[in-house]
Amino acid sequence: MAETTFIPFEKVKTVRDTPLEEMYTSGHRTCQGCESAMVMRHFSKAAGPRTIATGSTGCMYVANTSYMTTPWIIPWMHTQLGAGGSSAVGTSAALRALMRKGKIAEEKINVIAFCGDLGGGDMGLSGISAALQTDYDLLIILYDNESAANTDIQATGMTTYGAQTTFTPPGTKHRIMQHRWKKNVAPMLAVGHPTCRYVATASATYPPLDFHNKVRKALSIGGPTFIHTFDPCPKGWDYHPQYSREIGELGIKSGIFPLYEIIDGTVSYSYDARKRARTPVREYLVKQGRFAHIIDEDIDYIQSMVDSMWNEWEIPGVAPFKGGLEPAKN
Amino acid sequence: MIKRVEINYRGIFQKTLAKRIGGDIVIIASRMGKVGFSNGRYSDSPERNGIPCKYFAFVSPDLEEEELEAECGAKLDIDEADVSVVVDDTMVKGVEPWGWHGVRPINEKVVEKGCLLVVSRKRHDELTRFTARTPYSYRLATIDGDASLAGLWVFKDDLTHERVLGAIAAVDPAIIAIDAVEAYLLAKTKQEHRARAAREAYDAVLRQTSVVTPEQGIAWPHETPELPPWHAFEEGAVVRAPARHFEMGPGGQSRNASFKRGTTKTLRPVIRFDLCISCTLCWLDCPDECFDPVEGRLYDVSYAYCVGCGKCADVCPIPECIVMVDELQFDSDASPWEHYRSDPDGYTRWAEEKKGTARYAYPHVTGTGFEIRERESVAPKDLG
């Protein structure tokens, strides 16, 4: 087995070692209990003041910078829905050119582009793919609230099987309208871009500091990097905002959203749902109004899919190949 | 003649409720032979949990539908309302909507002799001590009840919808009449208890209406932001960031001064600094960056920016250290830690008095219930 690559980076070990200063501050238009706002807060805190962020259209654009006010202290620029990858490449290339020409001082300036699950996982996927083939230093964060949440919750390629959205309302004839299983974006990008050195999944609040350190690691390793975050959404998932952290924790502990890093092609689990007892997905599902219409049969199906991810996949929770390599039969 | 009704509601939590009230006013009016239409305020969409929003219903006995729409449709906001319905009483402290309007008085649109109709268990003087003074008199009516908060998919069917319709018939019969409300509810649902709920609210509101005179209320302390004209925008539509600043202490972190969002909350966290074990979790997990680190490893809270999500109270490991308390109990957004530092015992007594013994308990799926529980027992000496 390949050795895990050592990344020289300053790991934050306790909450007291995190910077006290905010780079994304109070006064935004996100929902009560917004977990995507936690992603914004912690990536900017981890990256620090010498950072430029670009944001694709989506909740974290519209909720933060509409109507001539902003909570961003670091420079931030809006970019189009599918342009997360290209805006990161453009910004990073511009910085390199300005430094080469001596127009700005040589220094490390972090470039971070964030996009939602529609902007990153569906529409902007080709742009992210192109960005991950470059040699520019950039980090793309896909904040995934499993819907087009800004426009009042439409289904995307990342919406969990069975969930209610405005595109997938349960009816008397068809109980389940969201038939698609969640798109497996982070491994897709890792498999397809062998020179991309760092791909990870994370949750902003669980385990504590995990996301914070993953951002620091991604920025330290250099080149194009990618992090996919799991963001419970009180609006679209229909739970009371005070439970945001708990829903996220249950998502990780039930194994429905695997947490791992892929560093130079080696997978390491941040929460190993094979070794640690997985909680039943039922506990996660029944606490959300978007699953209020599903019945035991559906919960059993979702549980069987999650079990298959962890028990049958060649790389559990990551790559959906089963049964190893077989010689060609014909 | 046009009658205008606005329904002030909490974004997402009461979206379905407000939409049903607005829509049903139109249907009931049309069953009475009038013309009506209903819409949401344009700038409120996309809604966010808790942010104050508005839904409108317009009714006319004599105009054609096209004329009514031309008069009332596609406007950012209305200029006046015959009835302003408020389905969460904490909005009487002011509403700062999603679009850039500033913190506005809840009774801003109510016309002379019009009515502010609030779902509340409070006495009328407990509400008017927050509303803005007006140059004329208007009426205040209350429907006895708690704010009915639900979610986007699971609606809380607790008869608030029917009771508000009955109450509107009581405060202004020229909009809809109670007989028509009852007939419609019976025809639509075949359930007598819904019609009865509307009638009972109608009777109760007739008894629970008072007149608010120009002497009542407060001088409004919030300024309305001045929107830049098109030629005042900077190149590239640049928006100036808050200046970078951090120091220990209350307000030591720079924040977005032109949009604060504190009127989003129905409950605020009250902190017992003497019980705090400095675990940092409230600060770490606050999605609105409201906690300010202060000396002694404590965390002050900036109420002007707190949106009352309740996450801090949920993650706090110490019972009774952070408790969510009804927002209408508070007049000031001043730093609680400065109060504590200047008078520790006085602060603790004040905090306990505000907290009382009732605790608000929401289930995971917001629309499936709501309870007021007695606080779990904590040794009295620990509670000061």
A63 contacts on B by Cβ (under 8 Å):
48
Q: B290-312: per-residue pLDDT in tens?
A: 999 999 999 999 999 999 999 99
**Nearest-by-Cβ selection for B309 from A20, A32, A205:** A32
Question: Which one has a higher pLDDT value, A201 or B376?
Answer: A201
> pLDDT value at position A88?
97
Check CB contact under 8 Å for A29 and B98: yes
Mind telling me how many Å the CA of A330 is from chain B's nearest CA? Answer: 52
Say which CATH class B3-212 falls into. alpha beta
Q: Percentage helix, strand, coil, to 5, in chain A?
A: 35, 20, 50
Distance CA B46, CA A116 (A): 16
Q: B337-362: per-residue pLDDT in tens?
A: 999 999 999 999 999 999 999 999 99
State yes or no: pLDDT of B218 exceeds 90. Answer: yes
Say which CATH class B262-383 falls into. alpha beta
> pLDDT value at position A47?
96
> pLDDT value at position B308?
96
> pLDDT value at position B211?
97
Q: How confident is the model at residue B44 (pLDDT cuts 50, 70, 90)?
A: confident
Taking only residues 88 to 127 of chain A, the set having a beta carbon closer than 8 angstroms to any beta carbon of chain B reads: none
Distance CA A210, CA B216 (A): 53
Distance CA A317, CA B92 (A): 50
Distance CA A92, CA A100 (A): 12
Q: B171-211: per-residue pLDDT in tens?
A: 999 999 999 999 999 999 999 999 999 999 999 999 989 99
DSSP state of B218: B
Q: What is the mean pLDDT of residues B277-286?
A: 96
The total of structural domains in chain A comes to 1
Distance CA B209, CA B116 (A): 10
Q: B361-372: per-residue pLDDT in tens?
A: 999 999 999 999
Beta bridge partners of B292: B300
Q: Using CA coordinates, name the residue in chain A closest to B245.
A: A21
> Concatenated DSSP letters for A193-221?
-TT--EEEEE-SSSSTTHHHHHHHHHHHH
Reported as half-sphere exposure (CB side, CA atoms, 13 A), residue A79 has a value of 26
DSSP state of B318: S
Structural contact between residues B167 and B141, judged by C-beta atoms closer than 8 angstroms: yes
What integer best gives the mean pLDDT of chain A? 94
Give yes or no for a cis peptide into B317 (omega within 30° of 0): no
State yes or no: pLDDT of B383 exceeds 70. Answer: no
For residue A328, tell me if it sits in a domain: no
Q: How confident is the model at residue B225 (pLDDT cuts 50, 70, 90)?
A: confident
CA–CA distances in Å: residue A25 to residues A72, B287, B369: 6, 10, 33
Structural contact between residues A115 and A55, judged by C-beta atoms closer than 8 angstroms: yes
Q: A24-83: per-residue pLDDT in tens?
A: 999 999 999 999 999 999 999 999 999 999 999 999 998 888 788 899 999 999 999 999
Q: B11-24: per-residue pLDDT in tens?
A: 999 999 999 999 99
Interface mutation target, options A17, A25, A32, A237, chain B, most CBs of B under 10 Å: A32
Distance CA A224, CA A138 (A): 5
B302 contacts on A by Cβ (under 8 Å):
26
Distance CA B66, CA B80 (A): 20
B264 contacts on A by Cβ (under 8 Å):
32
Q: For the beta carbon of residue B15, count every other beta carbon within 10 angstroms.
A: 24
B309 contacts on A by Cβ (under 8 Å):
32-33, 234, 241-242, 244
Q: A99-110: per-residue pLDDT in tens?
A: 999 999 999 999
Lowest mean pLDDT, pick from A1-15, A282-296, B85-99: A1-15
Q: How confident is the model at residue B229 (pLDDT cuts 50, 70, 90)?
A: confident
* CATH number of the domain enclosing A179: 3.40.50.970
State yes or no: pLDDT of A6 exceeds 80. Answer: no
Distance CA B198, CA B161 (A): 9
Lowest mean pLDDT, pick from B154-168, B232-246, B264-278: B232-246
Question: Which one has a higher pLDDT value, B7 or B43?
Answer: B7
Check CB contact under 8 Å for A70 and B302: no
Q: B71-85: per-residue pLDDT in tens?
A: 888 778 899 999 999
Check CB contact under 8 Å for A22 and B246: yes
Q: Give percent above pLDDT 90 in chain A.
A: 89
A73 touches chain B (CB under 8 A): yes
Distance CA A203, CA A212 (A): 10
For residue A302, tell me if it sits in a domain: yes
> pLDDT value at position B384?
52
What integer best gives the mean pLDDT of chain B? 94
Q: A122-167: per-residue pLDDT in tens?
A: 999 999 999 999 999 999 999 999 999 999 999 999 999 999 999 9
What is the domain extent for residue A257? 33-312
